[in-house]
Structure 1
Amino acid sequence: MYVLPDLPYSEDALAPFVSADTLRTHHGKHHKTYVDKTNELAAKAGLADRPLEDVVRQASRTGDKTLFNNAAQAWNHAFFWRSMRAPGGPQPNGELTRAIAESFDGLEGLKEAFVKEGVGHFASGWVWIVMTSDGLQVISTHDADDTLVREGLFPLLVCDLWEHAYYLDYKNDRKAFLERWFDNVANWDFAAAQLSASTGEGEGFRYPASE
């Protein structure tokens, strides 16, 4: 049985950039619903004992869209919680700083690309910072689509573009949400750990083991 992972911070830890009300609704209702539905569907598909990453990939291969949408959304949200930390945390450093400089000429260049991609993305989805064979890139995916089913991409950070991620705090101003998210709550320590894992130094993020 897949679990709803606890938030890695308190519900009010990201305020005022992401409110406690948004986190409470987003985590306790939206994410929980995806996890509950995944448990139901994975059991019917005979996949309940598999890591969630395997379930997402298998559902994609077999064309089981309902299972894919719920399992991928469960995974994406867990990765999203880890992509944030309380305001005032450390900025990029070390290898991550060098990778950002090589691909975007610095953090401001990365922010510009990230916000532009997120604002320009039509309807629901996710905006990602990923490592590729050509260095860092910013991409977006639609609906539940994620990096698990895309060859050659290793995710470092993600921000949710579905309206429930920001509408209570920002109404329809997605641009302001993305700018404030990037400047204040993006978890660069997590991104650095993911970057190391992309080169085989440590293990990258995995969804918590099922019970």
Structure 2
Amino acid sequence: MKFSLPQLPYATDALEPHISKRTLEFHYGMHHQTYVNNLNNLVPGTKFENADLETIIKEADGSIYNNGAQVWNHTFYFSSLSPNGGNAPTGPLAQAIDEAFGSFGAFREKFSQAATTLFGSGWAWLVKNRNGKLEIIKESNAGNPMRNGMIPILTCDVWEHAYYLDYQNRRPDYIEEFWNCVDWDIVGKRF
């Protein structure tokens, strides 16, 4: 199976001023594309030659896992964002967040804390755990919660390439701006 870089659902300047066009050109256009290219170079002749990304995430190790998970994680992240983002979730997701965390404000604070305190590079995730309850987890590097039987609902990329051009080493500033871009309609459909 040949993997390709999915189209962004918005223009590269659409998330400004929260995430700049320059950051998206590097993050999406170069980093995400590199993971796609690497994966396409790694899978020929392996048992993953015709596998989809979910199978790679659940079964592969090493470079194939790392690049496959990064393709999936980035696609999921970029598709969670919108120039019309922000606000708060509604409907069943909002109710589940209130149940699990007490309020949307409390959830946002806990999620931001997880994203801020993840050591090194990786991802903060809102997931539905094996019991069907919402949970916030941190995954280092290319970590993906599907590998542990969880269902991803939302993620924030906290690799430096996601924010360094706009915020340098100020990860908390980037995370604060991330909330202005979250498309809760899309995230709610995942729930």
What TM-score does the superposition give when structure 2 sets the normalisation length?
0.94
What TM-score does the superposition give when structure 1 sets the normalisation length?
0.86
Pairing of 1:138-157 with structure 2 (within 5 A): 138-151=136-149, 153-157=150-154
1:198 maps to none
1:203 maps to none
Which structure 1 segments of 5+ residues have no match? 196-211
Query: Matched residues in 2 for 1:119 and 1:89: separation?
Result: 19
1:28 maps to 29
Pairing of 1:30-109 with structure 2 (within 5 A): 30-59=31-60, 64-88=61-85, 91-109=88-106
Does the aligned pair in 1 maintain the 2:123–2:157 contact within 8 Å?
yes
CA offset at residue 33 of structure 1? 0.5
Which structure 2 segments of 5+ residues have no match? none
CA offset at residue 57 of structure 1? 1.8
Aligned residue for 1:43, secondary structure, equals coil
Q: Which amino acid aligns with 2:126?
A: I
| Structure 1 vs Structure 2 CA RMSD | 1.3
Query: Matched residues in 1 for 2:158 and 2:184: separation?
Result: 19
Does the aligned pair in 1 maintain the 2:120–2:159 contact within 8 Å?
yes
Does the aligned pair in 2 maintain the 1:80–1:160 contact within 8 Å?
yes
Pairing of 1:179-194 with structure 2 (within 5 A): 179-182=176-179, 184-194=180-190
Matched, 1:162 2:163: no
CA offset at residue 91 of structure 1? 2.9
Q: Which amino acid aligns with 1:188?
A: W
1:111 maps to 108
Query: Matched residues in 2 for 1:161 and 1:154: separation?
Result: 19
Does the aligned pair in 1 maintain the 2:101–2:107 contact within 8 Å?
yes
Residues 101-125 of structure 1, C-alpha deviation per residue, up to 9 Å, x if partnerless? 1011111101100111111110000
Query: Matched residues in 2 for 1:19 and 1:87: separation?
Result: 15
Does the aligned pair in 1 maintain the 2:84–2:183 contact within 8 Å?
no
CA offset at residue 88 of structure 1? 4.8
Percent identity over paired residues: 39
How many residues align? The count is 189
Query: Matched residues in 1 for 2:138 and 2:110: separation?
Result: 11
Query: Matched residues in 1 for 2:59 and 2:91: separation?
Result: 36
Residues 180-211 of structure 1, C-alpha deviation per residue, up to 9 Å, x if partnerless? 212x111211111110xxxxxxxxxxxxxxxx
